[in-house]
Amino acid sequence: MLRKRLYLVFVLFMAGLMLFTACTPKTGGNAPVKITIFVGFGAGSDPDSMAALNTIAEEYNASHKDIQIEFMFSTWEEHTSKFSTLLAGDLAPDLAFPIGIQGIAEFYDEWIDVSPYVKRDTYDTSDFYGPSLQLLNFNDKTIGVPLGVYPSVTFFNEDLFDAANVPYPPKQYGDTTWTLEKMIETAKLMTLDENGNNAASPNFDPTKITQWGWGGWCGPFRTVPGKFGGNPLGMSDDFKTANMNTDGYLEGMQFLYDSIYTSHVRPSSVDEGSTFTGMDFTFESGKVAMFECFSWSSYAFPNFTTAGNWNVAAVPAGPHGDVVSPVNADTFAIPGHSKHPDQAWEVAKWLMQPEMQSRLCGIFGCIPSRKSLASGWVDSLSAEYPNVDFQVFIDSINYMDASPNNESWVPNYSKIWDATENAMSRILSGDSSDVQQVMNDLQAEVQGYLVEYWAAHP
Amino acid sequence: MRRGNNVPHYAWNNYMNKASKPLPLRRLESLWGYLFISPWIIGFLLFTVGPMIASLVFSFADYNIVSPPTNFGLSNYIKLFTNDPDFWHSLGITATYAVIAIPLNLVFGFALAYLLNQKVPGLAFWRTVFYIPSVLAGVAVAILWGLIFNPKFGILNWFLGLFGISGPGWLSSPDWAVPALILMSLWSVGGGMIIYLAGLQSIPTTFYEAAQLDGANGWQQFFRITVPLMSPVILYNLIIGIIGTFQYFTEVYVLTSGLTGGIGGPAKSTLFYNVYLYSNAFRYMNMGYASALAWVLFVIVLLLTLLVLRSSSAWVYYEGELHNK
């Protein structure tokens, strides 16, 4: 009996202790405000970036008494569930950083408008690239100040081009001969079967391909229609009518299909799942002559180098003359649920200082959005990869799809995103050879999502 | 009652005990019992019953996690049954998987247990070998099978290649992704096997001895003695299998999240019910709709379980019942 009573006393004591500690305020009145920065909407969650960001936090905390910062990391795969759970649990972080256009769109209503802060502090934006500012100006608010942009360029393997004695793709924009049609022609010459025949040869065996001329676009499908004169949104300007089976979407999807199953210059997703296992980009294999990708692929540059000498060229013009370098961008966003938005803005300003911006872009692989920092970015990477002409990235900024962007908000954002990606996967995997039918299905699905959205948001 | 000299000591104690009305021993023990299990009860109420009730409420509302639930009504359930092709698609994939994977797992688990119930050298070793996979974490297993299914370098296509068969793309092929997952499900057959094994060992040998005296051959003994006496265990594994397959998620999530088309790809070929539920909850921020999906799943599993239990009177043999007849 004594033992039971002791147990009872112990249980009650522990319960009381837990209640007491749970109800005790964590900070005193003069304690510094802690700003939690959520990292997971894009770059920043790999081990190297996490270590670098934690170092930055230590530096900030050592030099600031009123505000302390702490990074909270999430993988990309878990970012929506983790972030929404934090919001639901009244544990909203104070900043989301870095965050791209997609992350902004996923939680569009959550972010506050920073334009009052910009106005109050007369924040100087004159040094920023115009399109990078344009990316963050939405109809009803401005979200963040641009940290950096990730324009797309054509990567090519010089060794493979040299071996095939095929001229390199042009580096300069404005070369009207560098079109998607020309790119496919070049890719045919670079695609080889196991007998060494290229895809332009009548003896070419498409079932025994050992080297592909083109690795495709590394971006989502919404990066494609802009190249074919279409609108990346894939719908009318009022977001009420889907336009998935017309214009750039249909033409772009047909181009994608033909590149795999007609000209055989691009591997299918089944080929990608087999030949290129363990690689983020097929280009890393040394078996792909060209592909188009964003500058955030910089983390894989060492693997590109292992695959051979590589360089970058301009993106080709589409069949209607559109030269579009799909772009991703990073900024910060302040959640509406943040308990310390003013302090969050101060931290964001500190992170956006030129020297810090340069340093952060060095971590994430972005081109700083400040024009004055561009040459430093080029010099820094050129020192590491002297063979590569990094100025092409800078030149691509003028051709980026700033507005609308390939990640711009649309109603029912993630559903439509998944729908377009699924449609692309039907083509890439060979699940369907009827492009028109795939796009008709997509059209019906997206239209359904638009109707659903507007029924809930009259 | 006053204690006088003529009142026995034990009688006085009994009187005093009754006067102070102490709790009966059984009730006292019950109270202690509840106290000791109270952490579990509190946890169960807070973290299981509470969320279940909350999800039931959310299932009748528009709820995006971030804002309070609104528009209470039946709209989620109406949409689910009348205007959501992905609901039926995901249910179809899950049902297809269940129809093939559950019988396969039952048969393979039983067969393995039967073999390991024989007197073979290294019996403990083999039992351990076949059981170990079932205790490994789902994520680790998924990653392992991702390598096995690799069309170019995976051991599966290498093995098929030995017979001149060119293996498919498995997970990257919409036609082969679900068959690949069914094949993978056999990996964890050891969990059922160990239960079958316990059942097999509880069958009295006297039944077999009597059958042998009556001239029954091996097959007859298997189908007339082993299977009937094992039928309650088969029933248990069947129900557990139904519940498990309808909650199938982790492996698909791990194996398909990196593919073109995202989770549930390629081309929605692995859009299992729970994958679709997860997407609604945490990608599309439709927690209300996801809750409705969860409750429909609960009802489906409940109905299937009841159906199986109902049918069990026709095919499950309980020794005790026979005695009562």
B222 and B270 assigned to the same domain: yes
B229 and B170 assigned to the same domain: yes
For the purposes of burial, counting CB atoms within 10 Å of the CB of B279, is it exposed (0-12), middle (13-18) or buried (19 or more)? Answer: buried
Q: Which residue of B has its CA nearest to A15?
A: B39
Least confident range from A3-7, A116-120, A362-366: namely: A3-7
Q: Is A17 in the B-facing interface, judged by CB distances under 8 Å?
A: no
Contact B65 A84 (CB under 8 A): yes
B266 and B134 assigned to the same domain: yes
B233 has pLDDT over 90: yes
Chain A partners of B268 at a C-beta cutoff of 8 Å?
Answer: 422
Nearest CB neighbour to B152, from listed A274, A414, A456: A274
Domain boundaries of chain A, sorted by first residue: 33-150+328-384, 152-327+395-456
Residue pLDDT, tens place only, A185-199: 999 999 999 999 999
Size of interface A-B (CB pairs under 8 A): 100
Contact B172 A269 (CB under 8 A): yes
B9 has pLDDT over 50: yes
B44 and B90 assigned to the same domain: no
Q: Give a yes or no: residue B181 inside a domain.
A: yes
At A280 the pLDDT is 83
Q: Is A84 in the B-facing interface, judged by CB distances under 8 Å?
A: yes
A255 has pLDDT over 60: yes
* Mean pLDDT value across chain A: 91
- pTM of the complete model: 0.82
Q: Is A110 in the B-facing interface, judged by CB distances under 8 Å?
A: yes
**Would you give the distance in Å from CA A342 to the centre of its chain?**
28
Q: Is A37 in the B-facing interface, judged by CB distances under 8 Å?
A: no
Residue pLDDT, tens place only, B76-112: 999 999 989 999 999 999 999 999 999 999 999 999 9
A71 has pLDDT over 90: yes
Residue pLDDT, tens place only, B167-199: 888 888 888 999 999 999 998 899 999 999 999
Q: Which residue of A has its CA nearest to B151?
A: A274
Q: What is the residue whose two structure tokens read 């991702």?
A: B146
Mean pLDDT of all residues in B52-69: 93
ipTM at complex level: 0.79
Q: The domain containing residue B269 runs over which residues?
A: 75-324
B161 and B244 assigned to the same domain: yes
Is A330 within 8 Å of A103 (Cβ atoms)?
A: no
Give the closest-approach CA distance of A88 to chain B in angstroms. Answer: 5
What single DSSP character describes residue B280?
I
Least confident range from B5-19, B51-65, B253-267, B285-299: namely: B5-19
Which CATH architecture describes the domain A152-327+395-456?
Answer: 3-Layer(aba) Sandwich (3.40)
Q: How many angstroms separate the CA atoms of B278 and A81, rounded? A: 9
Nearest CB neighbour to B266, from listed A11, A274, A425: A425
Least confident range from A187-191, A361-365, A381-385, B15-19: namely: B15-19
B44 and B121 assigned to the same domain: no
Q: Is B268 in the A-facing interface, judged by CB distances under 8 Å?
A: yes
Q: How many angstroms separate the CA atoms of A73 and B106, rounded? A: 42
Q: Look at domain A33-150+328-384 and name its CATH class.
A: alpha beta
Alpha helix stretches (DSSP H) within A235-313: 247-261, 269-275, 301-307
A88 has pLDDT over 50: yes
A319 has pLDDT over 90: yes
* Mean pLDDT value across chain B: 88
Three-state secondary-structure class, residue B71: coil
A412 has pLDDT over 70: yes
pLDDT grade for B325, boundaries at 50, 70 and 90 = very low
Least confident range from A74-78, A153-157, B168-172: namely: B168-172
Q: What is A301-315 written as a DSSP string?
A: HHHHHHH--EEEEPP
| Number of structural domains in chain B | 2
Q: What is the residue whose two structure tokens read 């009827």?
A: A434
CATH of the domain at B91: 1.10.3720.10
Q: Is B173 in the A-facing interface, judged by CB distances under 8 Å?
A: yes
Q: Is A246 in the B-facing interface, judged by CB distances under 8 Å?
A: no
Q: Is A429 in the B-facing interface, judged by CB distances under 8 Å?
A: yes
Residue pLDDT, tens place only, A11-60: 666 666 655 555 555 555 578 999 999 999 988 888 989 999 999 999 99
B132 and B222 assigned to the same domain: yes
B104 and B17 assigned to the same domain: no
Q: Which amino acid is at B141?
A: V
Q: Which amino acid is at A23?
A: C
B4 has pLDDT over 60: no
Contact A422 B261 (CB under 8 A): yes
